[in-house]
Amino acid sequence: MTEMRQETSKTCPHGAAGYCYKCAEEEFSLRKELLFIIPTALLLAAGIMFSRLLQETSYSWVEFPIFLAAYLLSGWNVLLKAYRNLSRGLVFDENFLMSVATVGALLIRQFPEAVAVMLFFKVGELLQELSVNRSRRSIKSLLDIRPDYANLKKDGELVKVPPDEVAIDNLIVVKPGERVPLDGIVLEGTSSMDTSALTGEAVPRRISPGENILAGMIARTGTLTIRVTKNFHDSSVSRIFQLMEDAADRKSQPEAFITTFARYYTPAVVLTALLVAIVPPLLITGASFSEWTYRALVLLVISCPCALVISIPLGYFGGIGSASKKGILVKGAAYLDALTKVKTVVFDKTGTLTEGSFQVTEIVPANGFTRDGILKLAAIIETQSNHPIAQSVIEAYGRPPDPSAVKDFLEITGQGIKANIDGVPVVAGNDALLHDEGISHGVCNAGGTAVHLAYDSRYAGYIIISDSVKDDALEAVRALKRHGVKNVIMLTGDMEAAAAPVAAKLGVDSYISGLLPEDKVKAVRELQNRAVKGDKLAFVGDGINDAPVIALADVGVAMGGLGSDAAIEAADIVIMSDAPSKLAVAIEIARGTRRIVWQNIVLALSIKGIFIALGTLGIATMWEAVFADMGVALLAILNSTRSMR
Q: Is residue 75 part of a domain?
A: yes
pLDDT (tens digit per residue) in 434-488 = 888 888 877 666 656 788 899 888 898 888 887 788 888 999 999 999 999 999 9
Q: Give the residue from 466, 495, 518 where a domain finishes.
A: 466
Residue 22 pLDDT > 70: no
More confident residue, 545 or 418: 418
The C-alpha atoms of residue 645 and residue 639 are separated, in whole angstroms, by: 11
The domain spanning residue 460 has which CATH number?
A: 3.40.1110.10
- Give the per-residue pLDDT at 20: 46
Q: Are residues 306 and 284 in the same domain?
A: yes
Least confident window among 68-82, 98-112, 406-420, 488-502: 98-112
Same domain for 444 and 541, yes or no, is: no
Taking only the tens place, the pLDDT of each residue in 397-415 is 888 887 888 888 888 877 8
The DSSP letter of residue 351 is I
The CATH number that applies at residue 512 is: 3.40.50.1000
Contact partners, residue 568, CB within 8 Å, separation at least 6: 239, 243, 543, 558, 561, 562, 574
- Strands 424-429 and 416-421 turn out to be antiparallel
Same domain, 474 and 461: no
The verdict on 122 and 167 lying in the same domain is no
**Residue numbers of the domain that contains 177:** 150-244
CATH number at residue 186: 2.70.150.10
* One domain for residues 256 and 197: no
6 domain-assigned: no
pTM of the model: 0.68
Q: Which of 551, 576, 601 is the last residue of a domain?
A: 576
Average pLDDT over residues 535-543: 87
Whether the predicted pLDDT of 125 surpasses 80: no
Question: Residue 10 domain-assigned?
Answer: no
Lowest mean pLDDT among 27-31, 47-51, 72-76, 288-292: 27-31
State residue 60's pLDDT score: 65
Boundary of a domain, candidates 532, 549, 576: 576
How sure is the predictor about 11, in pLDDT bands with cuts at 50, 70 and 90?
Answer: very low
In sequence order, what are the residues at sequence separation of 6 or more whose Cβ sits closer than 8 angstroms to the Cβ of residue 93?
A: 82, 85, 266
490 and 572 belong to one structural domain: yes
389 touches 451 (CB < 8 A): yes
DSSP 8-class letter at 483? T
β-bridge partners, 179:
218
pLDDT above 90 for 194: no
State whether 137 and 238 are in the same domain. Answer: no
Percent of the chain surpassing pLDDT 90: 16
User: Which residue in 93, 194, 337, 348 is the catalytic one?
Assistant: 348
Q: At what angle do helices 388-397 and 371-382 cross, to 10 degrees?
A: 130
Q: Does residue 509 lie within any of the structural domains?
A: yes
- Give the chain's mean pLDDT: 80
Q: Spell out the SS3 assignment of 101-125.
A: HHHHHHHCCCHHHHHHHHHHHHHHH
Could you tell me if residue 456 is inside a domain? yes
348 is catalytic: yes
Asked whether 260 and 312 are in contact (CB, 8 A), the reply is no
- To the nearest whole percent, how much of the chain has pLDDT over 70? 80
Residues 346 and 381 in one domain: no
52, containing H or E segment:
helix 30-55
Q: Are residues 493 and 522 in the same domain?
A: yes
Burial bucket for residue 471 (CB in 10 Å: 0-12, 13-18, 19+)? exposed
- Let me know if residue 408 belongs to a domain: yes
Domain count, the chain: 4
